Amino acid sequence: MRQYFLCGTAGLILVLSMNTVNACTGVTLKSKDGAVVRGRTMEFAQPMDSHILVIPRNYEFAGIGPSKKTGLKWKTKFALAGANFAGQPYVTDGLNEKGLSGGIFYFPGITGYQTCGRQQESAALAPWQLLTWILTSFATVEEVKKALPGIVVYNAVFDNWGSDMPLHYIVTDAAGAGIVIEYIGGKLNIHNNPSGVLTNAPDFQWHLTNLRNYLKMSPQGVKPISVHSLKISPLGQGSGMLGIPGDYTPPSRFVRAFFFAAASIQRKNAFETAMQIFHILNNFDIPWGTVRSAENEVTALEHTQWISVCDLKNKFFYYRTENNSRIRVLKLLDCNLDSDKIIKLKMESPEKAEDITARLK
């Protein structure tokens, strides 16, 4: 998710750059015991101030309609756990008590939201509200697919940042069904997602077509060949993936994520699978300074702010942050799902190195 913003007395101003990478990456795996686990990275140029949220059942929300009028009103049917942004009561990634999960991914240059007329305002949602509505209202992907045509998602401006938000979405349920939701040319597009992968632009169907350029990628090493009396062997392990794109652009990350997930050895349970996804997503971690705008701006550097993993079987929300690599977990079903308020916990915390010196004495 690519977002530059500057702090000043006037507040936060969002500056979107098409010349820079938009680097969120998501993958999905399934364990031997049938657990579905989905994970993603979250990239941002400045601190997102993310918090862990638990949104309870029967909590009332109101969509933001055009001209700041009230849009869709809804009361949460299912409790939800996830991570927010900029102090908002909406999640950018999370899962509900039924195991439906989803994430928001930046989608610049292609997003074209729907037109919202006066008669449609009661069904209107701002783009950053859509995922929270989905995860608090439905239990399965099939339910989401049936309900989405009745909602109008329009090009609302997020006042905190003074800009709109071009987004697309991944949604996955506990049975393993998955979709990608995109708004292009004013129309809703719902794509089945057998890959379980999502990055950013171009559109999802383009990414699937692009995979056809990499059909020779394999976790198996390449066998030596002989030319006359000369035997030529690979230089080392990993030769089957020689040529896989290694840059941070969305198309390259999609290819890598797809093949890393496809090559992943299936683990026996949800916990092992969650840890496997963290290992996969470590390959997409962006250190400070490696991604800069075309103007070489050093005041707003794209970097990985956090990585989250959703265990859809046990309803666990795992995460680690850029300043604390320790993996933490929120167990949704152990929370008060009937609270009268949203529970909020700051996501970031200081890194601590374990001192093992005493063990050697």
Residue 3 has pLDDT above 50, yes or no: no
Q: Is the peptide bond before 202 cis (omega within 30 degrees of 0)?
A: yes
pLDDT interval class at 21 (50, 70, 90): very low
Residues 6+ apart with CB under 8 A from 169: 102, 103, 104, 105, 130, 131, 134, 180, 181, 182
Q: Where are the domains of the chain?
A: 4-349
- 241-276: pLDDT as tens digits: 899 999 999 999 999 999 999 999 999 999 999 999
Q: How many Å is the Cα radius of gyration of the chain?
A: 21
Amino acid at 216: K
Q: Given this model, what pLDDT does residue 162 score?
A: 67
Q: How many CA atoms lie within 13 A of 255 on its CB side?
A: 22
The residue that leads in pLDDT, 296 or 57, is: 57
Beta bridge partners of 117: none
- 283-323: pLDDT as tens digits: 999 888 888 777 666 666 778 999 999 999 999 999 999 99
pLDDT interval class at 158 (50, 70, 90): confident
Amino acid at 67: S
Q: Given this model, what pLDDT does residue 164 score?
A: 85
Give CA–CA dist 31/21, Å, rounded. Answer: 32
Eight-class DSSP state of 126: -
Which range, of 42-51, 131-140, 228-237, averages the lowest pLDDT? 42-51
Q: How far is CA 35 from CA 28, 41, 267, 316, in A?
A: 11, 20, 10, 12
Give CA–CA dist 320/191, Å, rounded. Answer: 29
First to last CA, the chain: 48
Sheet with 101-106, side-by-side order of all strands: 187-192, 178-184, 167-172, 101-106, 93-96, 80-83, 51-55, 343-346
Pairing of strands 152-153, 124-125: parallel
CATH class given for the domain over 4-349: alpha beta
Residue 175 has pLDDT above 50, yes or no: yes
Q: Given this model, what pLDDT does residue 117 score?
A: 87
The residue that leads in pLDDT, 81 or 164, is: 81
Which own/partner pairs from 333-338 qualify as long-range (CB within 8 Å, at least 24 positions apart)? 333/97, 335/54, 335/79, 335/81, 336/54, 336/56, 337/54, 337/56, 337/57, 337/79, 337/97, 338/56, 338/57, 338/58
Q: Count other C-beta atoms under 10 Å from residue 223's C-beta.
A: 8
H helices within 107-155, ranges in order? 130-137, 141-147
Residues 6+ apart with CB under 8 A from 285: 41, 304, 307
Q: Nearest-CA neighbor of 153 among 137, 138, 164?
A: 164
The structure tokens 């991570």 sit at: 83
Q: Given this model, what pLDDT does residue 341 score?
A: 97
Say whether 23 sits in a helix, a strand or coil: coil
The structure tokens 């680690």 sit at: 320
Q: How far is CA 251 from CA 9, 154, 264, 292, 310, in A?
A: 38, 26, 20, 18, 24
Q: Nearest-CA neighbor of 344 among 53, 49, 48, 50?
A: 53
